């Protein structure tokens, strides 16, 4: 027996070991013996198919890549690669070019081998057309399935994105309501305190409340639209800090001035308003 016949015998044994005796490891060992002397696409595709059926899709893909390294225009390996990429990894964007190339190379292979096939003993035109049209339809159906899967994945991805955005908006709304409620409660309590203070102290407190409101509005603006008008953020923050630092100094200075006038009495703002 020559090497070609030996390899054919090994491949036949591998098919029997896997599909009849359920011994995939022994089948792969037979295929590896063939690949040592003959880098043919059928051996690569058979090994990749067995690995895929064993739920070793990545190993199957590595075998296909190895086979394509010897023949990039092999339509059988390209078809199997497209199936694994789409159905096992859902990488439809990569699978679609593979199946399209497979169809092109299948047509090229058919044109090249057609005349040779006709010279083979027992050639049947009807059998040839049946095989040709069947393979062509199979490749076309696979391409259609991959496109449908790609569209489905696109819709699911959009739906997931929208769901995530809705959840984010809901959380943001709840957070803003909480902050706004806290600010209102603080303002109302501050107003009650202001009416019991002297005019200078009341002005200082009102200024502080105003700055707090400005800060709140600034934070609210940044939450709703974080990309808009951010260039003035540092300037506004510096002004607020300077005012807040200056308020205690002004209050201390005002208190010292009042203490220097013994007969001056601070009249609460509420009483002055009554007058």
Q: What proportion of the chain, given as a percentage, has pLDDT over 90?
A: 35
Question: Are 151 and 56 found together in one domain?
Answer: yes
**pLDDT, tens digit, for every residue of 56-87?**
999 999 999 999 998 888 999 999 999 999 99
Query: pLDDT for 8-60, tens place per residue?
Result: 899 999 999 998 888 999 999 999 999 998 888 889 999 999 999 999 999 99
Domain assignment of residue 15, yes or no = no
169 within a domain of the structure (yes/no): no
Q: Which position has the token pair 């709140």?
A: 216
Q: Which pLDDT value is given to residue 225?
A: 61
Q: Answer yes or no: is 171 within a domain.
A: no
State pTM to two decimals.
Answer: 0.60
pLDDT tens column, 123-162: 787 888 888 889 899 999 999 999 999 999 888 888 888 8
Residue 267 lies in a domain: yes
The reply to whether 94 falls in a domain is: yes
Percent of the chain at pLDDT above 70?
Answer: 71
Tokens for 127, please give them: 């059998």
Same domain as 153, residue 48: yes
Alpha-carbon torsion (240, 241, 242, 248), positive or negative:
positive
- Please give the average per-residue pLDDT across 171-184, as a whole number: 71
Model confidence at 222: pLDDT above 70? no
- From 131, 158, 185, the end of a domain falls on 158
DSSP string, 63-125: HHHHHHHH-TT-HHHHHHHHHHHHHTT--HHHHHHHHHHHHHHHHHHHHHHHHHHHTSTT--H
Asked if residues 76 and 42 have their Cβ atoms less than 8 Å apart, the reply is yes
Q: Is the domain of 131 the same as that of 210?
A: no
Residues 109 and 219 in one domain: no
Asked if residue 209 belongs to a domain, the reply is yes
Token representation of residue 10: 């090994």
Residues 132 and 199 in one domain: no
Query: Please, is 48 exposed, middle or buried when counting C-beta atoms within 10 Å of its C-beta (0-12, 13-18, 19+)?
Result: buried
> Which structural domain, as residue segments, surrounds residue 116?
39-158
* Same domain assignment for residues 55 and 109: yes
The verdict on 48 and 147 lying in the same domain is yes
With respect to residue 183, please indicate whether it lies within any of the assigned structural domains. no
Q: Cβ neighbours of residue 247 under 8 Å, at least 6 residues apart?
A: 204, 207, 208
Q: Per the structure, how many domains does the chain have?
A: 2
**Residues 57, 114 within the same domain:** yes
pLDDT digits (tens, 9 = 90+) for 240-266: 777 767 766 666 666 666 566 554 445
Same domain? For 63 and 139 the reply is yes
In the predicted model, is pLDDT for residue 108 greater than 50? yes
Residue 24 lies in a domain: no
């Amino acid at each position: 027996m020559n090497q070609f016949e030996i390899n054919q015998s090994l491949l036949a044994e591998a098919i029997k070991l896997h599909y009849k005796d359920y011994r995939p490891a022994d089948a792969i060992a037979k295929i590896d013996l063939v690949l040592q002397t003959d880098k043919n696409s059928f051996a690569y595709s058979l090994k990749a198919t067995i690995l895929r059926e064993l739920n070793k899709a990545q190993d199957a893909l590595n075998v296909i890549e190895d086979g394509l390294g010897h023949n990039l225009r092999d339509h059988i390996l390209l078809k199997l690669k497209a199936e694994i990429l789409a159905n096992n990894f859902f990488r439809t964007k990569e699978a679609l070019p593979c199946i399209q190339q497979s169809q092109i190379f299948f047509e090229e292979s058919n044109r090249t081998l057609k005349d040779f096939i006709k010279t083979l003993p027992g050639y049947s035109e009807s059998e040839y057309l049946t095989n040709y049209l069947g393979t062509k339809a199979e490749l076309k159906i696979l391409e259609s399935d991959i496109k449908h899967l790609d569209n489905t994945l696109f819709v699911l991805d959009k739906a997931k994105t929208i769901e995530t955005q809705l959840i984010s908006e809901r959380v943001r709304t709840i957070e803003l309501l909480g902050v706004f409620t806290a600010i209102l409660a603080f303002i109302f309590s501050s107003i009650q305190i202001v009416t019991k203070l002297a005019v200078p102290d009341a002005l200082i407190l009102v200024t502080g409340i105003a700055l707090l409101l400005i800060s709140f509005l600034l934070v609210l603006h940044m939450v709703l639209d974080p990309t808009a008008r951010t260039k003035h953020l540092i300037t506004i923050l510096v002004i607020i800090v300077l005012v807040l630092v200056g308020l205690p100094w002004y209050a201390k200075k005002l208190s010292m001035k009042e203490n220097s006038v013994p007969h001056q009495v601070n009249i609460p703002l509420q009483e002055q308003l009554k007058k």
